[in-house]
Structure 1
Amino acid sequence: MPLYHVDPGSEAALVRVNDDVDLIKISVGTMDNNAYLIHPGAGPAILVDAAAEPGRLKALIGNDEVGAVITTHRHQDHTRALADIITITGAQPWCGEPDAEAIEATTGVTCRTVWDGDLFRLGDIELDVIGLVGHTRGSIALRLHGNPSDHVLTGDSLFPGGVGKTNGSREFDSLYNDVCMKIFAPMSDMTVIHPGHGDATTVGEERPNLPLWRARGW
């Protein structure tokens, strides 16, 4: 499958989700953060993780309307451009409920909140919200139903080769169990995983490694 690789400062990568929705990926900032523009054929778009470089994000958006900016988790490398992008676009900011207070404290942006099991709708875009507790208390993943495969934006909770960084065994257990139950159990092997940094992978590519992740504890 394509890795949808993008380098910092390079052109964006286009991912066709289905006949009506595209996913556009760009790398911003010094930590190779992925920002994603969910772009429908008509109606407002959604930006996921306004991480850095608001000028480049605005250039990516162009003249399109952005109705929502969704932040996958509270860490500042994913929020440095949030306030600027909200000001520029007038979009509504959203995040996982347990991380909302921390995001407001570091950015000054008050987010509306979603959490595990919610269905987020904006025009022609529908996202299943998945709470993944461990990297932070309020980390979320966002699932787009596609053709021929679904796509899930996992923030820093799931990468090629393992789950995201956690601060101890309790947090690892929580995150590992969440990704097993909420991503690997219900999703097909064709589902494409789009992380908060680096290249994409698939559920099928990562599934055989779950016992290794469990045994090593990261």
Structure 2
Amino acid sequence: MAARIEHLVTSGTFSLDGGTWDVDNNVWIVGDDSEAVVIDAAHDAGAIAEALGGRTLRAIVCTHAHNDHIDAAPELAARTGAPILPHTDDLPLWKQTHPDRSPDGELTDGQILTVAGVDLTVLHTPGHAPGAVCLHAPELTALFSGDILFAGGPGATGRSYSHFPTIVDSIRDRLLTLPGDTVVHTGHGDTTTVAAEAPHLQEWIDRGF
């Protein structure tokens, strides 16, 4: 059975620097009928577990450790036995949400996660958060960008642990070098493509997006 990408939207809140906002998050499931990985276990472990059905969950991958992307991860791990994997540079953010529950492993730049015969390559792309990562799956013509790149621009860099010049470097050097037809599956909102976003890089820089 060929690997496929599945998508669900969960709703909750994002909290940082003393503020809280209502958000809808994209949760991505990559796998086949027997096994899968979850990218960003946001808000609703029950809904994610239901979408998985009886499949073996190989990993809960965290594109970054803002609370809205990891709040359901421990419960999902408890339900499935899957390891939770963020990048080590995001441990300070992780501990803000889960001070008593450590991750089960870590992601590193260039690491390859394989599920259902498909390789997901970890790209360390700091800027929105120090340990932000994207996952590139060339066999699926897919990039899972977390909150680094959206349809219309970079992720936010106006709060703690973020840095606009760094996110621009990450997007320019790690993401816009991918094939133009790569579909960008984002952490919030609609998908886009590398080709659709690449022409606007200088605009973002000039605007300090």
- With normalisation by structure 2, the TM-score equals 0.87
Q: Which amino acid in the other structure matches residue 127 of structure 1?
A: L
8 Å contact kept, 1:128–1:142: yes
- Please list the CA deviations of residues 54-107 of structure 1 after superposition, one character each: whole Å capped at 9, or x if unmatched: 111111011111011001101001111111100000001111121134324522
1:22 is the counterpart of 2:4: yes
2:74 match: 83
> 2:74, 2:89 → 1: CA distance?
19
1:120 is the counterpart of 2:117: no
8 Å contact kept, 1:83–1:109: no
- Please list the CA deviations of residues 148-173 of structure 1 after superposition, one character each: whole Å capped at 9, or x if unmatched: xx1000101110111101138x8111
Identity of aligned residues (%): 28
1:125 to partner: Cα distance: 3.0
8 Å contact kept, 1:40–1:125: no
Give secondary structure in 1 for the equivalent of 2:27: strand
Runs of 4+ with deviation above 4 angstroms: none
> 2:200, 2:111 → 1: CA distance?
29
Extract unaligned runs of 5+ from structure 1. 1-18
Give secondary structure in 2 for the equivalent of 1:212: helix
1:11 match: none
In the alignment, which of 24, 44, 49 is matched to residue 40 of structure 2? 49
Using the TM superposition, name which of 59-68 and 95-104 deviates more: 95-104
1:36 match: 28
8 Å contact kept, 2:120–2:137: yes
Tell me how many residue pairs correspond in the alignment: 195
> 1:64, 1:41 → 2: CA distance?
7
- With normalisation by structure 1, the TM-score equals 0.84
Give secondary structure in 2 for the equivalent of 1:55: helix
8 Å contact kept, 1:40–1:124: no
Q: Which amino acid in the other structure matches residue 11 of structure 2?
A: G
> 2:114, 2:139 → 1: CA distance?
15
RMSD: 1.7
